[in-house]
């Protein structure tokens, strides 16, 4: 019997069985439309110079400035009918590593006690930008191209996520949630169409596209009608910025958030309630924004391509937000467990009819090739059936590789000593917000893998009143990709990056079915094994800032090359300063630059380093004899809507003394110039 048809029969039987079971989890919440809702936003931008970026795994891709700051956007949603609450965070990060979730929950429990916020009801999700600084995992594989762990970046991220949740907690007030969905076309393609086509034809025929093209949005309002914010989910990689980019960027989803928040007048530095627009990711594993193939997003450069993709997502989100009328009904609930994913016995109902097992984590040769929108070395699709020499043939006959089936292993990350290089104890979590279920996955899910997992959860929860189902990921931890069994067999990039072998998806379906069943019946679930805390055991080859230098005849903040006397709208103003290293002070909740317009005798700030039209660019200037000088270039792409008048550009930074190690602030100011 076709395996897909078998799975459909199994899920149907499970669903019928569920109808006879109790539905206690939402007792007293039927028809409820009242929630307590709070939102908060906080800066999580890490070191803007000389730190490897997380996502493309390119040794030479190190931060050298900021195009847009990274933010954590948090929502606390509490139920008035059953007293439960949940947290959803959308962070401008490549991944949420387990170490970050551990630290954030620890900080929340120090503040609020052990029971209010836990692993179970806190869902941390990443936008999956590939242009943020790395080094914030406790597992070696993800720090390898970063040259080790970076405590400054890790602490900035954990603290920023925590602070965004604190703000959301403090801003809780009575409100309602509305939900809307709609198709967003011409915004994404399946970058591994050949692998997708390996899935059964009957299964593919159930869907109109090889990517999910639906955006789903939640609209949050206070009871009196004031706007709180929105979250939308749309699956697409945040890889509009390519692997040659060196400026910190939140990519297409971050740009879309900035557009929406700019529309609503968001204050990025306030602790009070301000509008928060989260553009979250979903089953994006094989989905690219580069709709013309490869690295081509349709723009003249990466910035244009980011703008194109971000604007499409923004426009759809605004349309859904303005048209949303359907109220989210029900209460808040959740289930969470840890699973040792390298040793799951998978029942025949989820496999090919036989008992199967997951494997110790390993990555395949095709992972080195990179994906189409982030090419690496070699080519995809290399399987054990295609081995080219005796060594590779022998490798494919080892016991671990036998478990990994078609995958020729390049590195067994799960068997490294003294600790695995990738996590094997991973979280599975479902958060229910009324009639919406968020299925939080600690990996990048391919399109079809996400569809199968949602079908599994849907079979359990539809009878309990849940009508909307979404993958939220990558969330809470990170362990590569998950593809379907058929996609895995092709060993394209996504299959080669599926850590635990060919039955990884089946194992996750089995474990998520248990969570969904418990959520439906009101039963508890076992916490599962405790993941490692490897805070103690981090190493780095990175060097910090020893000191900053400059020529004797200038000061820190002095202008090296000045702005022109005048510019027209649409031109770019630029000024270069003698500066300090940005690692000296991250300027968290602040800015490295301001563009100011003269108003009478005062100066009004019109742009900062989180705004799209600015760039903060750092470069080392090897001045003799110390080689420790820095140049900082500030660019302002003058909007065509800019008010005419007199402007100036200011730079704020810090320099480190080589004598006593002290960190000192400085300011630089350009000449005044006119915009005509």
Cite the active site residues: 288
Contacts (Cβ under 8 Å, ≥6 apart) of 615: 65, 66, 67, 247, 633, 634, 635, 637
Residue with tokens 């909007």: 639
Helix/strand/coil for 276: strand
The tokens for 210 are 């090889």
For the CA atoms of 188, 194, 196, 200, the dihedral, rounded to the nearest 10 degrees, stands at 150
Alpha carbon separation from 500 to 227, 358, 393, 510, 618 (Å, rounded): 44, 5, 21, 14, 41
Phi/psi for 343 (5° steps) reads -145, 45
User: How far is the first Cα of the chain from the last one, in angstroms, to the nearest whole number?
Assistant: 73
- Specify the 3-state DSSP secondary structure of 314: helix
The rounded Cα 152 to chain-centroid distance in angstroms is 19
CB atoms within 10 A of CB 391: 9
Rounded CA gap, 214 and 193, in Å? 19
In 171-274, which residue ranges form alpha helices assigned H by DSSP?
Answer: 193-196, 201-204, 251-264
The answer to whether 51 and 67 have CB atoms below 8 angstroms apart is: no
Phi first, then psi: give them for residue 490, nearest 5 degrees: -80, -20
Give the residue from 4, 57, 583, 45 showing the smallest Cα distance to 368.
57
Q: How far apart are CA 653 and CA 663, in angstroms?
A: 10
Q: What is the DSSP letter of 303?
A: H
108-112: long-range contacts at Cβ-Cβ below 8 A with a sequence spacing of 24 or more? 108/162, 108/165, 111/166, 112/169
Joined tokens for residue 374: 């982030």
Nearest to 36 by CA among 156, 173, 150: 173
DSSP-assigned letter for residue 398: S
Q: CA separation (Å) from 539 to 25, 422, 534, 611, 620? A: 45, 15, 11, 35, 25
Q: Considering Cα of 442, then 8, then 13, then 345, what sign does the dihedral take?
A: negative
Tokens for 581? 């290293």
Helix (H, G, I), strand (E, B) or coil at 202: helix
Cβ pair 475, 280 in contact under 8 A: no
């Amino acid at each position: 019997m076709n395996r897909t048809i078998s799975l459909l029969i199994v899920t149907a039987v499970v669903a019928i069985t569920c109808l006879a079971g109790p539905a206690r989890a939402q007792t007293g919440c039927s028809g409820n439309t009242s929630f307590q809702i709070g939102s908060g936003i906080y800066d999580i931008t890490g070191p803007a110079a000389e730190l490897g970026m997380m996502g493309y795994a390119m040794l030479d891709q190190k931060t050298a400035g900021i195009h847009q700051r990274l933010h954590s956007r948090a929502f606390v949603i509490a139920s008035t009918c059953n007293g439960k609450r949940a947290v959803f965070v959308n962070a401008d990060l490549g991944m949420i590593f387990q170490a970050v979730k551990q630290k954030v929950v620890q900080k929340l429990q120090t503040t609020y006690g052990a029971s209010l916020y836990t692993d179970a009801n806190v869902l941390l999700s990443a936008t999956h930008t590939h242009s943020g600084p790395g080094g914030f995992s406790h597992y070696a594989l993800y720090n390898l191209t970063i040259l080790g762990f970076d405590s400054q970046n890790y602490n900035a991220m954990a603290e920023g996520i925590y602070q965004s949740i604190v703000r959301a907690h403090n801003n809780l007030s009575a409100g309602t949630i509305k939900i809307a969905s709609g198709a967003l076309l011409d915004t994404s393609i399946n970058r591994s169409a050949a692998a997708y086509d390996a899935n059964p034809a009957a299964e593919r025929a159930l869907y109109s596209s090889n990517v999910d093209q639906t955006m789903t949005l939640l609209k949050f309002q206070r009871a009196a009608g004031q706007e709180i914010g929105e979250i939308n989910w749309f699956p697409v990689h945040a890889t509009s910025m390519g692997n040659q980019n060196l400026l910190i960027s939140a990519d297409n989803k971050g740009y879309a958030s900035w557009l929406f928040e700019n529309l609503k007048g968001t204050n990025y530095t306030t602790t009070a309630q301000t509008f928060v627009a989260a553009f979250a990711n979903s089953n994006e594993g094989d989905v690219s924004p580069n709709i013309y193939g490869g690295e081509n997003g349709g723009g003249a450069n990466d910035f244009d391509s980011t703008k194109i993709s971000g604007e499409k997502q923004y426009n759809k989100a605004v349309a859904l937000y303005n048209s949303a009328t359907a109220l989210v009904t029900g209460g808040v609930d959740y289930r969470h467990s840890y699973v040792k994913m390298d040793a799951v016995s998978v029942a025949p109902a989820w496999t090919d009819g036989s008992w199967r097992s997951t494997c110790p984590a390993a990555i395949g040769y095709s992972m080195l090739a990179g994906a189409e929108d982030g090419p690496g070395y070699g080519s995809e699709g290399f399987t054990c059936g295609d081995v080219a020499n005796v060594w590779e043939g022998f490798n494919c006959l080892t016991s671990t590789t036998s478990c990994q089936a078609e995958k020729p292993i390049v590195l067994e990350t799960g068997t490294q000593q003294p600790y695995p290089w990738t996590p094997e104890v991973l979280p599975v979590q479902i958060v229910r917000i009324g009639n919406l279920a968020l299925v939080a996955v600690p990996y990048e899910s391919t399109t079809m893998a996400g569809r199968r997992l949602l079908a599994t959860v849907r079979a359990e929860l539809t009878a309990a009143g849940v009508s909307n189902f979404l993958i939220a990921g990558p969330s809470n931890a990170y362990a590569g990709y998950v593809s379907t069994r058929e996609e895995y067999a092709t060993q394209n990039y996504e299959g080669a990056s599926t850590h635990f072998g060919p039955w990884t998806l089946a194992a996750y379906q089995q474990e998520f079915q248990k969570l969904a069943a418990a959520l439906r019946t009101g039963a508890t679930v076992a916490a599962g094994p405790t993941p490692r805390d490897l805070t103690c055991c981090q190493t780095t080859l990175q060097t910090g800032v020893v000191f900053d230098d400059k020529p004797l005849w200038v000061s820190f903040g002095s202008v090296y090359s000045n702005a022109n006397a005048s510019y027209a709208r649409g031109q770019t103003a630029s000024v270069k300063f003698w500066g300090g290293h940005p690692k000296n002070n991250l300027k968290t909740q602040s800015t490295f630059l301001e563009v100011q317009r003269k108003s009478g005798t005062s100066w009004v700030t019109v742009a900062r380093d989180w705004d799209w039209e600015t760039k903060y660019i750092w470069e080392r200037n090897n001045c003799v004899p110390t080689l420790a000088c820095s140049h900082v270039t500030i660019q302002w792409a003058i909007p065509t809507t800019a008010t005419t008048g007199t402007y100036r550009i200011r730079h704020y930074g810090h320099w480190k003394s080589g004598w006593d190690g002290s960190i000192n602030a400085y300011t630089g100011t350009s000449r005044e110039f006119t915009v005509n």
